[in-house]
Structure 1
Amino acid sequence: MFDFETYLAGQKNLVDAALRAWLSRAHVIPPVLSDAMRHSVFNGGKRLRPVLLLAAASACGLPRGKAMPAACAFELVHSFSLVHDDLPALDNDALRRGKPTTHKVFGEAAAILAGDALLLAAFELMAATGPKPERALRASALLASAAGAAGMTGGQTADLFAEGLPKESRRLSRLKKERAACAANKLSYFLLPGDSKPAPDKVLEYIHLHKTAALLAAPLEAGAVLAGAPKKTIRALRAFGLYCGLAFQISDDILDVCGDKKLLGKRGSDRDNEKLTYVSLYGLERSRKMVYSLLLRAKKRLDGLQGIRASKLKPLYGFADFLGRRAY
């Protein structure tokens, strides 16, 4: 059986070294900004997204060194999203992986600016990705789409206004109390367009396909694009990533209820914020069965890949198994 945790730890060290080199470049910027950026990036993350990009690129024949800038770019976008996600206006979290969140250490204003800087640095890195500029451009578009309004940002928006459902939207109730002009709109305005009475299960799937799964599928797709892989391979890796992304989110919901607070760095945040989660909607056992089903479908997409040695796909199969263990 492939030891994914050992593989992940080794690849993480390589990604961390590349991130340190990038963030240590000589720039004349306020130290508070550079320190806030480093605090956000080096706070114990697993580096799943860059490692998945490197694994996909390697499976499709691109050397790690040529894919590393793009891998780091995805991690910077992920870090940016967590900085902003933790802010009082959004999830208002004081801890991230057992450490104080960026705004708790540097203040809200510096945290917002650090997040902005990380996002923009990601596209600077994408521009430095080789070997072919047209492939780097396609990979940049994938990153922008996965992180933007049609991806993570859209999912995050729906996630905020789904707090309190299926009873009522806490955020919308707050806007009504504040007499915000947009509060006159129906709930669908804040969740799913064109659906006057959005069902909680549809809202939940939309949130996590966009908020979580998109940024797990995109690095796999980008790695294949950078390697010049056939369209069929790119589509299969994207589908694998979407299935794994949903499984990852469901297991995250499970861990929020059952996980060890000391290991996770926090526990119960979703419950405190009345988040709409798979566990709150479907219960613990059904959520675990959903993880199992999604991972079976993910592996089937890898089974159908042609022209790639089985040994090259071991990290991806290992990732799926890792997610399965995470849910129990």
Structure 2
Amino acid sequence: MTWQPSASMATLRRRAVMQQTIRDFFAAREVLEVDTPILSAAAVADPMLEPMQTRVDRDGQARHCYLHTSPEYPMKRLLAAGSGAIWQLCRVFRNGEVGRRHNPEFSMLEWYRPGFDHHQLMDEVEALTSGLLGHSSARRVRYADVFAEHFAGLDIHACATSSLRALGEQHTGFKGELARDGWLDLLFSHCIEPTLQQPTFVYAYPASQAALARITASDDSYPVAARFEFFVGGMELANGYHELIDAAEQASRFAEDARKVQLLGQPPRPLDQNLLAALESGLPDCAGVALGFDRLLMLAEGAEHIAEVLAFPFERA
């Protein structure tokens, strides 16, 4: 049995300093630090995220609950209640995520800016991370353009799914059945993401990958998601949206996610009706982003494994 921490004391001290630097960053911008529940009666809707379940016993009754995968839903309820700009650094939990860059329990930095779109939020992400990592200005490139650069002018909007499949099989060796977005994800994660060594914002994702972002028209008139992801050192560091504020559209997306959960053979998940009620009451026009704090520290430390920046990863917890 190994009882010692996996991170060095020097790294743990740097972790504490980085947390304070983040707190100072948002205090200087008058963004309110908030604290929301880790435990919820509702589960995340995204079928690609598997929530961890637990049980609360009260008055002889067992209530099934979930550890949150992100503080997004309750933070949006605060925004609808008039909080203004808010941020939070908290522990989140995702089942099945174990590896060099993943721990089932990890730290997420999340913040929301009323009055911002995703381009303005990219500016703020860059300001924060450049101060912490010392990097230069980040490149900004559309999702479709980065595919065209890597695959000889490929037009992801117009090409047939069979073309994506052929590229996927050729470049990754994967043989199987995937939907169109599955092939795009495979090509991006295996072929494009590792090349994004310099700080890079990829934005204007396909509308089918909007998640909780609003849909807009791109420069070439294809509908795209008002969403970005930020990469440094070939690793995804942040995921941000110009947030969807339409309650009816959100309910429709929740229903589609529930259908996908069923198709994957997963048990049904209770959806967050409080979030829908908050959206109905009026969520301000805003942009929000989630940033992996442990990965940020990995980049600052030059660490190859997430265990190097955690006191006690899952194997030692």
User: Which has more helix, going by share of residues?
Assistant: 1
Q: TM-score range by the shorter chain?
A: under 0.3
> What TM-score, normalized to structure 2?
0.27
Comparing both chains, which one has the higher relative contact order based on Cα–Cα distances under 8 Å and sequence gaps of 6 or more? 2
User: Which has more strand, going by share of residues?
Assistant: 2
> What TM-score, normalized to structure 1?
0.27
